[in-house]
Structures are given as structure tokens and as C-alpha cells.
Amino acid sequence: MMRPVALLAVALCATSSLAFLTPAPRPVRSRCGVRARILHMSGVERNPNFGKLMGGYLFPEIARRRSAFLEANPEAKIISLGIGDTTQPIPPHILSGLVHGASKLGTPPGYSGYGPDQGVKDLREKIASTLYGNRIDPDDVFVSDGAKCDIGRLQVMFGKNVVTAVQDPSYPVYVDTAVIMGQTGLINEQSRQFDGIVYMPCNPGNDFFPDLAALPQRPDVIYFCSPNNPTGVAATRPQLEALVAYAREQGSVIVFDAAYAPFIRDPSLPKSIFEIEGALECAIEVNSFSKYAGFTGVRLGWTVVPKQLKFRDGSSMHADFNRVMSTTFNGASNIVQDGGLAILDKEGLAEIQILISYYLANAAKLRATVEAMGYKAYGGDNGPYVYVDLGGKSSWDVFSEILEKAQIVTTPGAGFGPGGEGFLRLSAFASKENVDEACERLQKVMVKGPVPWMAERPGRASPSSRGNRVFGQSVAGPNGI
């Protein structure tokens, strides 16, 4: 049988009008010398699950809109309160761990190649003792290149036949990976929910904790993030006790995402699901050094899969996760694991407290600023995100309005699921100077009447929208804001 590419080449030679062959990625010279644009197709069938996803992943989409704005307004001084990416340098003691890890590779005794798949023993032990007070077994720790990657690997382990539940709103990776794995049907255009996923509404009305008794279906795997992205709110002990009790009763497994745990300042709030009795038999925890050691680019995280966890047939989840890791991952970088050991030294732990305080001070300022403008806001005290109630406005519209008028990138709540519509997430991971400036800009944008700073700033778009409130209830702008 003729391959699609060969067929295409025949078609190219047979016709002089090639306009129907759009879109055409690159010009090539065909065998009969016609210079044409050809559409190169493989014979590989597309994974149909990708067709179910609505557009691209959230953060690249935001980056695309930011770039488009910058292209149209090259002099714009954009401030990002969008993606939760750290901005402050890695502190000296932690950095010395990375340097040590790198330089020992240049010596015969210090050199190492592939490491243990699960991560170096010292680091697993130090994670278990320093961060979990030895509540977990070091053998249950899988050191990795980050929490996001581990969520993907957990989905590979669970396969396509599980029912996934998510907080709504939630970090989009849980839903997107469930879709890619084939766990879902299509999205419902009306509800904006994927068929086959259990959405657990979390909003101010229920203290951001779902009504578990009201879930429409028994979930197999419950993704639960605390402190939460995007709401910035951390679950209380009684809430997590209720979650664990529910999971045990239903035979569900919780995947607890604790990527922001050290931001918790209220001592009554649990930092790990394993602080809750009974969790070792029903919970996995994904975690990361990204957000408080400046490791978003360095990449180091871990997942705890207790050996007590079993599938319905009695087989071990730990064994299957180990199989996924050893088959698809070759261990976290040895250099980076030395950095991880330094984070967990006394000096490293003190250094991360300084970074966390820095970002939490930013969060407090952002929250106070929007509250002073008359808006209800949540989070920011035990987590690095401030979640602003837009009073019924479309979050993508407000996102665009703020980008255009204040040159600030934010994240629309709708990007985190239908339950996030009407809210805006502000990330505290900017520099203090940028947060100060962003707060000033937001306040000015909200002033009724002409806004002086807009006229001063060169290169800004759309003077027609001058004087409208961004969040406000006052003058309606071009897109109804």
C-alpha cells in the first residue's frame, strides 16, 4: 500500500495548482522539480484523547497572550503575577550543596553515574526524618525531578480505568493528565466539565472544602492540594480527617499535593496528609522543593507511596509505582540531590524560611491591596496565592483588562476549572519591588475617571478604555468590564 507521503508526492507532480494543500509547513522541491509547499503526514494515528483537550496547557497560553501584548506594546513594562515561578536567588548554603554536587563529579572518588532509581538513601532518610518526623518509611520515598512529573507518572500507574476526582478549581495537571490517559469522555460545552471526572466544588460558600457526601459518584483517585493552588487556602485538620475517613470508607486513594506545605504558618494546619491517622493506607503524597528553595528550574521533588497501599486485588501500589519509575525515569540528577540534602540541613531550613517569609509578605500586600479596593480575597496567609472574587465578572475578561491597563499578568480562575470562573489568582512569587509597583498600578486602574499614569506610560494600547475600573462596579468598558 502506498504511504500517505508517497501519495502526496504523486499528487504534487500531477497538479500545478497546489493551493488546496494547506496548511503547508515548509517549501520543498518535489521529484518532478515543482517547488511547492507540502503537508507531510505520517501514517500514525493520533491519540484521540488529545482531541478532547480544550486548547493548550494553561500557562503556555498565558505566556502567548503576554507575548502578543508585548509585541503590540514593545515598551510595556510587564509585571508577572501569573505563573507560580520563583524569582529570588538560591541562598548560599543551598547553593553550596549544588556546587559541591557538581564539583565532586570532577574527581575520581566523587564521580557517580546513574544513581539509585528511587534517589540517594541519605536524601530519602533526611526527607522522612526532617519533613515527616519519621511518620513515613524512607523506603516509601521516591525522589524525582518534580511534583508535576510525578503526577503524570502516577496517572500512568493508575491507567485509564479509574475515576478521578478533583477539587474545582484545581491545578490543571490533574484533569489534563486524566484526559490524556483516556479516563474521560468529552468536555460538556455547557458545564465545562469532562465527562467521567468527579468535580468537587470548592468555594467560599463551603470554606473551600467539598461536600464529600454529595459527590455524584464514588471516585477511585482523589487529587487534593493543600495549601491549595489556585485558592491559596490550606485545609484544616478536621477537613483532612474527613477526607481520609471518606477515602477509607469508599476504598479511594488520595493523591495529596503538598507542593506548598512549608508556606503554612498556622501551626494548627497539617503540612502533610500523613499527619492524619489512617492516611498511610489510603494516601500518596506528591511534593517538591520547587517553590521555597528556588528549585523550579533546578528540579527536585518526591512522592511518598506507602507500602500499606493496595489495589483492589491486593497487589502493591508501591511496587507498581516503583515499576513506573524504574522503567521511565533514571533517577533525579546527582548534583541536584546534593542541593536537596543542603536544603534539609539546619542552615538550609533557615534559608528557606527567609524565602517563604519574603513571598508571604508579598502575598499579604497583594491581598490587603485588593481588599482595600473592596474585593473579597482569600489565601495568601498560608500559601503563596491570593484568590480574588471578581464579583461575577469573567476571569479571562478581567485578565485581559488588567494586562492591557496595568500591564500585569495574572491567572484567570477559569483556567483552573469551571469552579474558578469569577475569580483571579495573583501569584506572590514576584520580587517585592514588582509587587509594590503592581499594587500601585492596580490601585490607579481602579480610580474612577481619567487615570493619570496611563497617559504617562508610552506604548500602551487602547486609550479608549482609559478610566474604566478593572475590577470595579463603575463604568462598563469595551468588553463589559
Residues that bind ligand PGU (CB under 6 A): 59, 83-84, 146-148, 171, 225, 229, 257, 259, 288, 290, 296, 301
Please identify which residue in the block is written with the cell numbers 501569584: 427
Please identify which residue in the block is written with the cell numbers 493508575: 158
Q: Where in 60-183 does DSSP place strands (E)?
A: 79-80, 141-144, 164-168
Q: Could you tell me how far CA 19 lies from the centroid of its own chain?
A: 42
Please identify which residue in the block is written with the cell numbers 503540612: 271
CA 163 to CA 161: how far, in whole Å?
7
CA 88 to CA 351: how far, in whole Å?
12
How near is the Cβ of 103 to ligand PGU at its closest, in Å? 25
CA 165 to CA 216: how far, in whole Å?
10
* Number of CB atoms found within 10 A of residue 41's CB: 11
* Gyration radius (Cα) of the chain, Å: 25
DSSP assignment of 378-423: EESSSSSEEEEE-TT--HHHHHHHHHHHH-EE-EEGGGG-GGGTTE
CA 205-423-264 angle, 5° bins: 70
Q: What is the DSSP letter of 316?
A: B
Torsion of CA 391, 392, 396, 397, to 10 degrees: -80
* 68: CB partners within 8 A, 6+ apart: none
Contact present, 387 and 233 (Cβ < 8 Å): yes
Element spanning 285, H or E: strand 283-288
